[in-house]
Amino acid sequence: MAAEETIQLEIAGLQKKFGDDVILDGVDLTVRKGEVVVILGSSGCGKSTLLRCINGLEPIDGGSILIDGEAITPGAKNLTRLRQKIGMVFQSYDLFPHKNILDNVTLAPIKVQKRTKEDARTEAEQLLLRVGLWEKRKAYPRELSGGQKQRVAIVRALCVNPEIMLFDEVTAALDPEMVREVLDVMLELAQGGMTMLIVTHEMGFARAVADRIVFLDEGKILENLPAEEFFTHPRTQRAKDFLQTFEFNKQ
Amino acid sequence: MQASGINVLFLGRNFARLIEGLWVTMRISLLAVLLSIPLGILLGMFMTLRHPLAKAVSRVYLEFVRIMPQLVLLFIAYFGVTRAFGWNWSADFSAVLVFTLWGTAEMGDLVRGALQSIPKHQYDSAAALGMTKWQTFAHIILPQTLRRLLPPTINLTTRMIKTTSLVVLIGITEVLKVGKQIIDVNRFAYPTASLWVYGAVFILYFLACWPISLLARTLEKRWR
């Protein structure tokens, strides 16, 4: 899991507002190739917005986001090309309901990357096999459970061969018994050397998967530490309070 | 003699004339439907634009065409326009024009509703995969919209077929008018003619609309 030196993602002075509300206030973050960064913070701290800014789903109000040295700018011509370097999985398992699983995951490789059907299909089937859903390739999303849909969504993002994967609270809408199967897939990806940026509320998972924890509060990065250090010796009171909320002690 | 009343349908060319009348109805309504669907899709897309002018224009058009009874629109197109501008539109043309205007308005509103019912995260996930706006529309939004549109569009089509019976009032001899003529001619020989003729017209309308409903049900099943 050792990160290489190549910088994959570089965010500097990122500003984002919704009307008068400042959502992100001068965020600086560098992610190296192969690194797994988990973003923690209470609801409304700007975690999801940060991920949405990274692949240009939200216009930004200041600062810069560079992927492999190229700036992400919503509306710019190179955006669709840059987005192929970024895979994103959302909280709402948002597969395309009118397409079967195989068509869902091969749509972008065929239409966006102009790869041949056979080529796209071969890769898709291999990935589906890896997440244990090859048997479901002809099924439609409505026939799958939440956890299965979310695993398909991960495969769909992987099929464009991204260099970095963004996960936005992908287990938050799942029944508890389905969370595990999704997290296992992510853990395997992390071990395979994928660069990942994960927003989650699963503390145990965060600790297991992360190289580094970024703690976000009111749009600012308060802590940016190696995972173990964050969980054992958080520096700020806010982070201590945050971690406290996940602990239960018998009175 | 009640039982012999049915014979009125097969006197001379009566039945053939009823079928011809039905064809007049179907020709006008299907032509209007075929024009309304693509125009309505365009209007519906136009209506989802956030531009205030686009909103205002489509709003006015929609309300005007919907609030006005179709009969009034027919009269305006057939009689009013001739008087005002001296354009001599044929009754058929006026009918197709009016039903297309009406169908486009109704269809546009259906399309707008269907487009807006597609969840925002469908757009987001398509964008996140690197799809352009056009690719997203063609592969993700449009197919889902069409599926949602099918039942209300069929409903609109059958409504349009039925409403075409109004064209008799601008002098087009469609199925109802033919029926009326047959009844008038045979009033004394067949006192019960009206029951049989209107009964036949009812069945003809049913036969015209039923296959459309069947087709819709088949498509719905296949697309489910």
Residue whose C-alpha is closest to residue A231's, from A206, A248, A250: A206
**Beta carbons of B78 and B99 less than 8 angstroms apart:** no
| Residue B2 pLDDT level (bands cut at 50, 70, 90) | very low
Strands of the sheet containing A7-18, edge to edge, are A21-32, A7-18, A62-67, A70-71
Residue B4: what pLDDT?
67
Task: Say if the Cβ atoms of A112 and B129 lie within 8 Å.
Answer: yes
Q: Which residues of B touch A97 (CB under 8 A)?
A: 144
Task: Say if the Cβ atoms of B129 and A83 lie within 8 Å.
Answer: yes
Residue whose C-alpha is closest to residue A161's, from A84, A66, A239, A74: A84
Task: Kindly give the confidence (pLDDT) of every residue in chain A, 251 residues in length, as a single tens digit, with 9 standing for 90 and above.
Answer: 454 578 889 999 998 998 888 899 989 999 999 999 999 988 878 889 999 999 899 999 999 999 988 888 887 788 888 898 999 999 887 899 999 999 999 999 998 899 999 999 999 999 999 889 999 999 999 999 989 999 999 999 999 999 999 999 988 888 888 888 889 999 999 999 999 999 998 888 899 899 999 999 988 899 999 989 999 998 899 898 888 888 777 66
The residue of chain A nearest to residue B143, with distances taken between CA atoms, is A98
B222 touches A at CB < 8 Å = no
Separation of alpha carbons A247 and B3, rounded Å: 89
Residue A4: what pLDDT?
59
| % of chain B beyond a pLDDT of 70 | 98
Residue A30: what pLDDT?
92
Separation of alpha carbons A70 and A73, rounded Å: 9
pLDDT 10s digits, B132-143:
989 999 999 989
**Beta carbons of B130 and A87 less than 8 angstroms apart:** no
The residue of chain B nearest to residue A58, with distances taken between CA atoms, is B124
Name the strand (E) or helix (H) holding A199. Answer: strand A195-199
Name the strand (E) or helix (H) holding A214. Answer: strand A212-217
- Please tell me what DSSP assigns to residue B141: I
Indicate whether B86 pLDDT > 80. Answer: no
Task: Say if the Cβ atoms of A160 and B130 lie within 8 Å.
Answer: yes
In this predicted complex, what is the ipTM?
0.86
Whole-model pTM: value is: 0.79
Q: What is the mean pLDDT of chain B?
A: 86
| Region B20-41 average pLDDT | 89
Separation of alpha carbons A187 and A209, rounded Å: 6
The single-letter code of the amino acid at A210 is A
Name the strand (E) or helix (H) holding A196. Answer: strand A195-199
A57 touches B at CB < 8 Å = yes
Residue B9: what pLDDT?
77
Residue B1: what pLDDT?
46
Choice among A104-118, B39-53, B169-183 with the minimum mean pLDDT: B169-183
**Beta carbons of B197 and B12 less than 8 angstroms apart:** no
A94 touches B at CB < 8 Å = yes
Q: What is the DSSP string of B152-199?
A: HHHHHHHHHHHHGGGGGGGT---HHHHHHHHHHHTTTT-TTHHHHHHH
Residue B139: what pLDDT?
93
Residue A251: what pLDDT?
63
Nearest to B130 among A57, A80, A94 (CB): A80
Task: Say if the Cβ atoms of B130 and A156 lie within 8 Å.
Answer: no
Q: Which two tokens stand for residue B224?
A: 């489910």
Half-sphere exposure of A123 (CA within 13 A, CB side): 18
Report all structural domains of chain B as residue ranges with CATH numbers, in order of start. 5-223 (1.10.3720.10)
Task: Say if the Cβ atoms of A57 and B124 lie within 8 Å.
Answer: yes
B142 touches A at CB < 8 Å = no
Task: Say if the Cβ atoms of B128 and A88 lie within 8 Å.
Answer: yes
A108 touches B at CB < 8 Å = yes
B/e letters for A160-193, b = 16+ CB within 10 Å, e = fewer, are bebbbbbbbbbbeebeeebbebbbebbeebbeee
Q: Which two tokens stand for residue A70?
A: 């190229």
Task: Say if the Cβ atoms of B130 and A92 lie within 8 Å.
Answer: no
Separation of alpha carbons B6 and B199, rounded Å: 10
